Amino acid sequence: TTTAFHAVTLSEGGYFVFGLHVVDETGCTSLQEARLTAFVSRRAAFTGTLAPDTICPGSTVSVVGMAEQRPLIGPPAYDPASPEILADNLQFTYTFPIEVNGAAPDDTISNADQLGDICVSMEHSYMGDFVLSVTCPNGTTVSLHQQGGGNTFLGEPVDGDDTNPVPGICYTYCFNTYPDFGTWQACSIFGTTPNLIALGSDFTLAPGSYTSVDPLSELVGCPVNGTWILNCTDLWASDNGFLCSWSLGLSGFLPDSLNLFGPVLGTASPDSSFWSGMNVLNDALHAGMASYSPPGIGIEQLTYSVMDSYGCSYDTSLTIVAEPFAAPVIEANGSQGELCATNTFPATYTWYFEGSPATTTGNCWTPPGPGLVTVVGTNGFGCTDTSVYLVTAVDQLNESERQLTAYPDGAKGLWVEANGLTGSMVQVRISDMAGRLLWERSVQPSSGRLKERSSGSIAPGTYILQLVDDGRMTALHVAVP
C-alpha cells in the first residue's frame, strides 16, 4: 500500500470507473473493495460559429459564436480535431482506432443489430481507389467497400490536389443491418441503382445508410470492449481523400443515461460565452454575439470562448482579413484635359462630374468642362474609397487659381482638398456654426495642392471650413448628412 497512489491523465471526456485491487506478497489478490467514478467534460463542438473571411477597413460586422456540448456518453467515435489525410500511398493501410471500455466485461455482439450504425464521415475523389473495412477487438474484419465505383466522389473533395492535398467537405455514410441503399458500388455512377448528387460535371455519393460488402453478421461474437479499427487501403494511383471521423453505434451496451450528469454549456450567459480580440464589442444581452471593427488593414484573429458547468473552458479562433482601401489618386495626364486614376492595389473606377455619373468606367477620363470631378475606386472585395479633383479649365488641369472643397466619407471623416496654394505652410480649421473649433492642422502643400482628412468622426450637421494660405483666408460651409 505504500505505492497505492496513481495519477492518470484523461485526454478525452466521458464516464470513467476506477477500482482498487490489493495484491499481497504471496500473489493473492483482493476483491475490488471500492469504486471511484469520474465524469470528464467532453470538448465543445463549435459547428455554426460565423465570421466573415474578409472585410473593409472602417466597416463593422457581426460575429456569431455557436457551441454544442457533446454528450458525456456518446457513441464511440474517432473524432480528430482536423480531417486526417488518406494520401495516395499505394498498398499502405491507414488505421483509425476507437477504444471501447464502457460495456460490461463479458459483453459480446450476439446479434448484428447490436452494432447499430457504423458511420464514416469522409471525402475522396475516386471511390474505386480503396478498400474500407472494420476490425473488431478479436481481430475479425469485415469489408465495407471493396473498390468499385470508379471516379464517383465521396463527399465534396478538392479534385486535382495530388501534390498538396486540401480537405474538402465530408459526407457521412453509415452501414447497418437495415440500410436504405445497396453497396457503394451499386449506388455509384457505374452501379445498377445510382444514388448520387451532381457537383458540376462530377457526381458524388449521397449521404445515407448503405449495405456493406461483407455481411455485418460476421462480427457476431466480437467483444464489445477493446479496440475497434477502421482500415483504409489505397490500391490505385492518383487521387486522395480525408477522414473527418467515424463512429460505432453499439446499441444497448453503454450507460447512455449517465448523460444526465454531464456538464451544461453556458451559451446563454455573456459571462461564459463571449468573443475576444482587438476592437471586439460583445453584446451584453445576447451571449455569443459581438460586433467587430478592424483596427486597420491586415490580419486579425478573433477567439470565441465558452465555459461549461464543470468549469472547463473551450475556444475556437477565426481569422479575418481587413483588405486595403482602393484609394485612388487623380492626376492630370498631359495637356489634353484627361484625368487618370491610379491605385496601389487593383481596382475598378466610377467617375462623377458635378455629382452626376460619367459614362466611362476606365481609369482615365476627360471631363466636359470646369467643375468638381469625383472618382470612386473599388477593389476586388468591394472596399471603396473616393478622391476628388477641381478642374478650372479643360485644357489646364494643373490650375493655379486657388480652389477649396470638402466632402465626408463613409467612416464619418471629412476630407479637405485644395488647389492653387502658394504658401509653404497652410492652416486648415473646421468649426461648428457656433464658432467652436473642432479640428485644426498645419499642412505643407505638395505642388500647391493638399488633401487632408479630419481626425475622429464628424456628426451630421453644417460646419465652417477655413483655409489660410499666404495670409489669405478662404472659407465655405460644409454639410455633413
pLDDT at 402: 65
- Binning pLDDT at 50, 70 and 90, where does residue 324 land? confident
β-sheet bridge partners, residue 260: none
Nine-digit cell at 196? 448520387
Residues 6+ apart with CB under 8 A from 334: none
Contact 389, 330 (CB under 8 A): yes
Tell me which residue of 357, 325, 351, 328 sits closest to 338, measured CA to CA.
Answer: 351
pLDDT at 392: 61
Nine-digit cell at 201? 460535371
pLDDT at 399: 44
Q: Is the sign of the CA dihedral 17, 22, 28, 32 positive or negative?
A: negative
Highest mean pLDDT among 15-29, 135-149, 295-309, 339-353: 135-149
User: What average pLDDT does range 272-290 have in this prediction?
Assistant: 93
* DSSP single-letter state for residue 201: T
Position with higher pLDDT, 272 vs 465: 272
Nine-digit cell at 306? 465558452
- Binning pLDDT at 50, 70 and 90, where does residue 395 land? very low
The rounded percent of the chain whose pLDDT value lies above 90 is 41
* Pairwise CA distance, residues 415 & 433, whole Å: 18
pLDDT at 398: 44
pLDDT at 161: 79
- Binning pLDDT at 50, 70 and 90, where does residue 356 land? confident
Amino acid at 479: A
φ and ψ at residue 310, rounded to 5 degrees: -85, -10
Nine-digit cell at 310? 464543470
What is the CB neighbour count within 10 angstroms for residue 360? 12
User: What average pLDDT does range 264-289 have in this prediction?
Assistant: 92
pLDDT at 394: 43
The rounded percent of the chain whose pLDDT value lies above 70 is 95
- Lowest mean pLDDT, pick from 94-98, 126-130, 231-235, 344-348: 344-348
User: What average pLDDT does range 332-353 have in this prediction?
Assistant: 79
Task: Identify the three-state secondary structure at position 99.
Answer: strand
Give the distance from CA 151 to its chain's centroid: 29
3-state helix, strand, coil in the chain (%, to 5): 5, 45, 50
Q: Is 0.75 topped by the overall pTM? A: no
φ and ψ at residue 442, rounded to 5 degrees: -100, 130
Q: Is the sign of the CA dihedral 326, 332, 336, 337 positive or negative?
A: positive
Determine how β-strand 202-205 pairs with β-strand 153-154.
Answer: parallel
Contact 268, 163 (CB under 8 A): no
pLDDT at 448: 82
Tell me which residue of 243, 255, 254, 258 sits closest to 97, measured CA to CA.
Answer: 243
